[in-house]
């Protein structure tokens, strides 16, 4: 996609490139570009570098520490970060709970929580899905019963990404009576993970890593002051949060970089196969993905333009979520196809520390299989793609 940049925007792009070249730790960038897992400490290190520059909270309002960037500047930033190997900002604090706090929280809550999120002093996780409440999130069963100035929370949250590292968790909990309509009985509560009664149990994913967890609450006492906004209005706040999450799932810049890596790998001669870009079937699939990615990029730019005016993302976030996850999975499949039978052996140590392999990087023979397996979840988290289609039918098409 060609975007005509003004002289000021070109100067901004040069400033971004210089910052990434001088401030992004080379060892972290190498891991990202090679598809090697990064640690919590490395993510925090990078986010604190961004905070020191004033570039950590790209979409926050300026009064709370946001950048005030235009949609084009955000577009430039995301593309340059993807090309340089900068880690994504871990979304749970910066991109998900923070917008809820600064939009619906009290001034005391803003002062208490936002500075630590901005400085990456506190690691957050999300408590939405439950063992029997995923796509039908409004049927969640975790309860918060009022006891004086506290709530007593009981229940279980699941698929909690990086919950083993979290200092705090933001949760949807049921605060209404059994007769209250599902959505009207839900509140949005912030919980300290050090509170007594919380147990974190690991879930090992198909790629052999502990990325997600189950979190159990057994009479966990939480101050009512940790509730965001009004009791029973959590569903409204959660929907705003989810539009921010779904917008981030698109990962257009990331897919563009991976597509270029796929092309480069396809041109290499392997086992006499020759240049796979000259294979008609392979080339046609690649072209179809490029066209879909270009269309998605325009949609993302329109969304960024809306967010830059202070609005939350609208139903277009569902379009970004559907197409972004599908395109990412199509790219995964093409990497596996290109690796052929070399993607079959599943030796975790090889995938994590594959620097002696002839081809190392996202989707190469060294890690195409675990990448493929791990990303199957992308069409489910953040609200399954089937649910997103229902949202589009109702909010966009009026059906």
Average pLDDT of every residue of the chain: 85
Pairwise CA distance, residues 230 & 184, whole Å: 11
| pLDDT over 80 at 246, yes or no | no
**Sorting pLDDT into bands at 50, 70 and 90, what band is 248?**
low
What is the sign of the dihedral through the CA atoms of 367, 373, 376 and 382? negative
Structural domain spans, the chain = 7-89, 122-233, 250-395
Q: Give pLDDT, residue 355.
A: 39
Could you tell me which residue, 34 or 325, shows the higher pLDDT?
325
Strand partners, 133: 130
Q: Give pLDDT, residue 214.
A: 97
Coil/strand/helix, residue 143? strand
- What is the separation, in whole angstroms, between the first and last Cα of the chain? 33
Per-range mean pLDDT, top range of 137-141, 164-168, 381-385: 164-168
CA dihedral 246, 247, 253, 258 (to 10 degrees): 10
Q: What is the pLDDT of residues 16-59, one digit of tens each?
A: 999 999 999 999 999 888 777 788 999 999 999 999 999 999 98
Q: Which CATH class is domain 250-395?
A: mainly alpha
Model-wide pTM > 0.95:
no
CA nearest neighbour of 240 among 225, 253, 252, 229: 229
Could you tell me which residue, 4 or 355, shows the higher pLDDT?
4
Pairwise CA distance, residues 186 & 118, whole Å: 27
**Sorting pLDDT into bands at 50, 70 and 90, what band is 118?**
very high
Q: What would the mean pLDDT of 190-215 be, rounded to a whole number?
A: 92
Q: What is the pLDDT of residues 268-307, one digit of tens each?
A: 755 555 688 888 898 999 999 999 999 888 888 777 666 6
DSSP annotation of 194: T
Pairwise CA distance, residues 88 & 174, whole Å: 32
Q: What would the mean pLDDT of 220-248 be, rounded to a whole number?
A: 85
Question: 122-233 and 250-395 share one CATH topology?
Answer: no
Coil/strand/helix, residue 22? helix
Q: Could you tell me where the beta strands, DSSP code E, fall in the chain?
A: 124-127, 143-147, 150-157, 168-174, 186-192, 198-204, 210-223, 227-228
Q: How far is CA 282 from CA 15, 193, 278, 333, 335, in A?
A: 38, 48, 8, 11, 11
**Sorting pLDDT into bands at 50, 70 and 90, what band is 374?**
confident
Which CATH superfamily, name and number, covers 122-233? Butyryl-CoA Dehydrogenase, subunit A, domain 2 (2.40.110.10)
Whether residue 388 contacts residue 322, with contact meaning beta carbons closer than 8 Å, is answered with yes
**Sorting pLDDT into bands at 50, 70 and 90, what band is 354?**
very low
Which H or E run contains 358?
none
């Amino acid at each position: 996609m060609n975007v005509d940049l003004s002289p000021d925007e070109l100067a901004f792009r040069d400033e971004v490139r210089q910052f990434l070249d001088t401030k992004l730790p080379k060892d972290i960038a190498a891991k990202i570009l090679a598809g090697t897992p990064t640690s919590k400490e490395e993510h925090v290190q990078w986010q604190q570098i961004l905070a020191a520059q004033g570039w950590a909270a790209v979409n926050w309002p300026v009064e709370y520490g946001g950048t005030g960037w235009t949609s084009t500047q955000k577009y430039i930033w995301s593309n340059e970060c993807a090309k340089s190997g900068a880690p994504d900002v871990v979304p749970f604090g910066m991109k998900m709970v923070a917008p809820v706090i600064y939009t619906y929280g009290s001034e005391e809550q803003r002062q208490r929580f936002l500075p630590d999120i901005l400085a990456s002093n506190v690691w957050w996780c999300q408590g939405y899905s439950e063992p029997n409440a995923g796509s039908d999130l409004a049927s969640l069963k975790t309860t918060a019963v009022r006891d004086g100035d506290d709530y007593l929370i009981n229940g279980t949250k699941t698929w909690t990404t990086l919950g083993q590292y979290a200092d705090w968790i933001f949760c949807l909990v049921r605060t209404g009576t059994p007769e209250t309509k599902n959505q009207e009985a839900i509140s949005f509560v912030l919980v300290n993970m050090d509170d007594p009664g919380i147990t974190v149990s690991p879930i090992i994913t198909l790629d052999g890593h502990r990325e997600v967890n189950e979190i159990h609450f057994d009479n966990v006492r939480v101050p009512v002051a940790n509730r965001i906004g009004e009791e029973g209005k959590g569903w409204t706040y959660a929907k705003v949060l989810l539009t921010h999450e779904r917008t981030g799932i698109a990962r257009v810049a990331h897919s563009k970089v991976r597509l270029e890596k796929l092309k480069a790998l396809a041109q290499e001669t392997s086992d006499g196969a020759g240049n796979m870009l000259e294979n008609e079937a392979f080339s046609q699939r690649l072209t179809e993905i490029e066209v879909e990615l270009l269309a998605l990029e325009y949609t993302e730019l329109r969304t960024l333009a809306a967010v830059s005016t202070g609005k939350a993302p609208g139903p277009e976030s569902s379009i970004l979520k559907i197409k972004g996850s599908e395109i990412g999975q199509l790219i995964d499949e093409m990497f596996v196809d290109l690796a052929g039978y070399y993607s079959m052996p599943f030796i975790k140590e090889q995938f994590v520390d594959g620097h002696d392999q002839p081809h190392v990087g996202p989707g190469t023979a060294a890690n195409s299989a675990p990448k493929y397996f791990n990303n199957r979840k992308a069409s489910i988290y953040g609200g399954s793609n089937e649910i997103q289609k229902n949202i589009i039918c109702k909010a966009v098409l009026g059906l």
